[in-house]
Amino acid sequence: MAATVHKPLGAITADDLAVAAPRSDATAFHSAFRRVLDSHGPAVVWAELCQFVLRPSVPFAIHRMLYYGCFAGFPSPMLLAWTLDP
């Protein structure tokens, strides 16, 4: 079975978000998460996305895409289940 390849956050486009959650405002959401990318390291980016961008109203497909995008290329097959507050 081939492993799923996830796009890194910097490669995720508004179109990718629109496909993942067709009824969402993908352009506005894309702008919001791109502002967070100024942080360094996947754990910090994920923490900021959780704090400032992701809400329960955001479709799960987008949560999943951004989570795997944060940790794409992570040097371990086991991704973080949680992160410490920075």
CA distance 22 to 73: 27
pLDDT per residue rounded down to tens, the chain (86 residues): 445 667 888 888 889 988 888 887 888 888 877 877 766 677 788 888 888 888 898 889 888 888 888 888 777 777 766 666 65
**CA angle, 73 as apex, 32 and 36 as ends, to 5°?**
15
Q: What are the DSSP calls for 8-53, one per residue?
A: -GGG--HHHHHHHSTTS-HHHHHHHHHHHTTS-SHHHHHHHIIIII
pLDDT at 86: 53
User: CA end-to-end span of the chain, whole Å?
Assistant: 36
pLDDT at 33: 76
